[in-house]
Structure 1
Amino acid sequence: MSVSPLQALPLELLRQRTSTKWRSYGDDVIPMFVAETDFALAPAITAALQRAVEIGDTGYTPPRPGIDLDFADYAQRRWGWRPDPAKIRWTGDVMMGVVEVLRAVTSPGDRVVVTPPVYPPFYDTVEEAGAVVERVPLLDHGDRWSLDLDGIERALADGARSVLLCNPHNPTGTVHARESLAALARLAHRYGATVVSDEIHAPLTHAPAVFTPFLDAAPEAAAVGYTVTSASKTYNLAGLKCAVIVTGSEETAAVVRALPWEVEWRAGLFGVIANRAAFAPDSDQWLEGLLAALDHNRRLLADLLTEHLPLARYRIPDAGFLAWVDVSAYGWGDNPAPFIRREAKVALHHGPLFGEEGVGHVRINVGCDPEVLRDAIERIGRLAVATDADAGGSSIVETSLVASEDR
């Protein structure tokens, strides 16, 4: 049965928001940089938060808030995997959880593998934990990306102690294959390392891709893995602090239970209330409508780039609402985003922040109204025409659009 796509809120209403997306730049700029979406909250979330305000339920987060059971049920419905609620804890947000787990499983100076191009806070989080970043870039196959398992094995064999995994991957939108995740689990187990998996984009996986929770990928994953995730990206709850830390064995669960008590206290009560409502069955239909809207926009972006920026390179992502686009052919420098913002009045995320693989790239948030997306790409397209004319075409090199429909 087909599901009607969610409709984004009108711009005049969105510009009344006070969040980062809507307060970083003036009203003449289309903001498409930070991972906030432009839809109304799921009705169940709105109702739960309204009720909390009505009765003044604004105190401390309780010692057993119930999110462990709710997430376990949600994972069962969405992915056919039900983690043990006794092995689920909570904290303020995913990066908080990641840094605390890394502190627990590494020693100062240990190396942690990251797989660029990757979410910029991964680099900061490793350093905050006292460890050192070891880069093992994704393999670029032309039509898709994958983990460089040989490279990761070399790093682990050389003494790296952990892998910080992005599953699904940000910014490429790659949903890692079960076979790759299973092989990663076996490698970590063989070398006595750990895998910390950020799975915040998992609910946003688009068919026919199939999301595999790392802890469910292979028997070895339970022994080496720690998953940190939240409803915040999918349901636009970043300002309401709550995430879960999931483990699959008694040994890894004991590591998380031994974290300082403040780790759980960092979860805000409104964050818990909102996450629980997001994970409840009442929000499932809203999620299907969101996925339909994002599916339309990820494909629309391919069409718009073909029409207005034909030298751009883009692969339709497996998951999420973030698009990784190579615009290096237009000669706008290593970091095109500031130039695009200044000249076209469209704010995009800076590619080089994701690693040196991001030179010449931008990340575009397509979690918006299709007409907003169209306006943004048309503006950038006009910029491309203007700069090409100014340069006499000398800065343009031949490349092509890559739109991977089956990944």
Structure 2
Amino acid sequence: MAHRFDDLTAERMRAGGSWKWSTPGDSHGRGLIGAFVAEMDYPVAPAVSDAVRWSADASAFGYLPDDWAADMASACSAFWGDRFSWAPDPAWVRPVPDVLTAFTATVRHFTRPGSAILLPTPAYMPFLTVPGMIDRPLVQVPMPLRGGRFELDLDAIDRGFADGAGLLVLTNPHNPTGRVFDADELAALAEVVDRHGARVFSDEIHAPLTFGTARHRPYATTSDAAAAHTVTATSASKAWNLPGLKCGQVILSNAADAEHWTATGYLAEHGTATPGVLASTAAYRDGRDWLDEVLAYLEGNRALLAAAGLPGIEVTVPDGTYLAWLDARGLGLDEPPSAFFTREAGVVMTDGAACGEAGRGGMRLNLAMSRPVLAESLARIGEALSRAPAPR
């Protein structure tokens, strides 16, 4: 049976004007398909539309009042309690414009000046560039691929902390590989971090987006030690497709951090958009049926990818997020694979090298498009493989 999202054609998306669909050019006379930016093509939940419309009708574009921030915190806490069995104290849920703002504030206010940051790679691209912008050394920790899934290299993380690093960036569910880390991995990580008296910035922006038997576990709930050394960041932006509304949440998990954030977090909170807070509150409180519909649709897209059969490409179907990892090193290309597939297939993906050295030769493919467009994307990639030069 056709789904309403199936009507979201490439032509319609290009006309919409989003960055994801605005890459100029074509491929063999065909328009390009945007599959790189981590946002969905799907229309937002009715509750979100109503909230944004109300904010416009009410001219609610001023600075964020405390009561609306508190209402969002309560809605976020309730959603997390229902979905992940952790309802943090709403007073410890604080508004920020986005996860990167939360990250920079965490580095500046919760780590030793000048201490290095450990980053498992492949990684979300800005985590590789932002540390240098705030004068912090970055240590990439490649994630080994075992049995078709990326894992944390705990020994390398241990060495990094022993060498003086003060913070680990944990992204779970993981962008760009789609991995959802299990309880044993998180517990083992918490032991390593605690042993060194270090900190974790836990990016859980994709938390509601998990599939099959995979279940998101908030890292801060792993143990009392984890709660004591973690700053968690999340947002409704990925699960409900709201990135342009500039609203995220910092979740503190111990009294000392909450007190410190109260003293230092003003600038991080200040840029949060009032319409984004209203939309996020509506998403957490009244957008759950829409989210479940999207998850079911994405399950079908995951199945389509799993059945695609792309010779020479090792496909990692995501356990969480809507981002798949395509390892194209087996093709032996003399150029970045994303450049090849943009030119020969007209499918614009994120090049793995932008995700760190461990990502070189790979690509990040966004699955959150209509199923007919995804089918066309995979068909185009398959056709382009027939034009790929033979590996040397």
For 1:293 and 1:200, the matched residues in 2 are separated by 20
* Aligned amino acid, residue 67 of structure 1: M
Q: Does 1:322 align with 2:323?
A: yes
CA RMSD of aligned residues (A): 1.8
Q: CA deviation at 1:139?
A: 2.4
Q: CA deviation at 1:260?
A: 4.4
Task: State the partner residue of 1:36.
Answer: 39
Q: Deviations over 1:194-245 (max 9, x none)?
A: 0000001111011201110011111111110000110101111110001111
Correspondent of 1:199 among 200, 204, 209: 204
Correspondent of 2:244 among 215, 239, 243: 239
Gaps of at least 5 residues in structure 2 are none
For 1:334 and 1:11, the matched residues in 2 are separated by 27
Q: CA deviation at 1:315?
A: 2.1
Task: State the partner residue of 1:133.
Answer: 138
Q: CA deviation at 1:50?
A: 1.2
Q: Please show how residues 361-376 of structure 1 align to structure 2 within 5 Å.
A: 361-376=362-377
Task: State the partner residue of 2:119.
Answer: 114
Correspondent of 1:7 among 1, 5, 8: 5
For 1:5 and 1:287, the matched residues in 2 are separated by 15
Correspondent of 1:170 among 162, 175, 183: 175
Task: State the partner residue of 1:18.
Answer: 17
Task: State the partner residue of 1:275.
Answer: 280
Gaps of at least 5 residues in structure 1 are 397-407
Q: CA deviation at 1:263?
A: 1.4
Q: Does 1:74 align with 2:79?
A: yes
User: How many pairs align?
Assistant: 385
Task: State the partner residue of 2:256.
Answer: 251
Task: State the partner residue of 1:399.
Answer: none
Native 8 Å contact 1:61 1:269 kept in 2? yes
Q: Does 1:298 align with 2:292?
A: no
For 1:315 and 1:340, the matched residues in 2 are separated by 18
* Aligned amino acid, residue 310 of structure 1: P
Task: State the partner residue of 1:49.
Answer: 52
Q: CA deviation at 1:180?
A: 1.5
Identical amino acids, percent of aligned pairs = 37
Native 8 Å contact 1:6 1:293 kept in 2? no
Higher relative contact order (CA 8 A, sep 6+): 2
Native 8 Å contact 2:25 2:32 kept in 1? yes
Native 8 Å contact 2:23 2:32 kept in 1? no
Cα 1:121–1:288, aligned 2, differ >3 Å: closer, same or farther?
same
Deviates more, 1:115-124 or 1:127-136: 127-136
For 2:162 and 2:22, the matched residues in 1 are separated by 46
Native 8 Å contact 1:198 1:227 kept in 2? yes
Q: Deviations over 1:136-163 (max 9, x none)?
A: 2212113212211122112112221111
Runs of 4+ in 1 over 6 A off after TM superposition: none
Q: Deviations over 1:31-55 (max 9, x none)?
A: 1111121111011101111122122
For 2:330 and 2:382, the matched residues in 1 are separated by 13
For 2:11 and 2:49, the matched residues in 1 are separated by 20
* Aligned amino acid, residue 204 of structure 1: L
For 2:355 and 2:3, the matched residues in 1 are separated by 30
Q: Deviations over 1:344-369 (max 9, x none)?
A: 21111111111111121111111011
Q: CA deviation at 1:6?
A: 6.2
Q: Deviations over 1:45-89 (max 9, x none)?
A: 011111221222222211332211111001011111111111111
Native 8 Å contact 2:311 2:385 kept in 1? no
Q: Secondary structure at the match of 1:57?
A: coil
Task: State the partner residue of 2:191.
Answer: 186
For 1:156 and 1:44, the matched residues in 2 are separated by 45
Q: Secondary structure at the match of 2:256?
A: helix
Cα 1:263–1:6, aligned 2, differ >3 Å: closer, same or farther?
farther
For 2:134 and 2:284, the matched residues in 1 are separated by 30
TM-score (norm 1): 0.90
Q: Deviations over 1:312-340 (max 9, x none)?
A: 10122110111100122223335211121
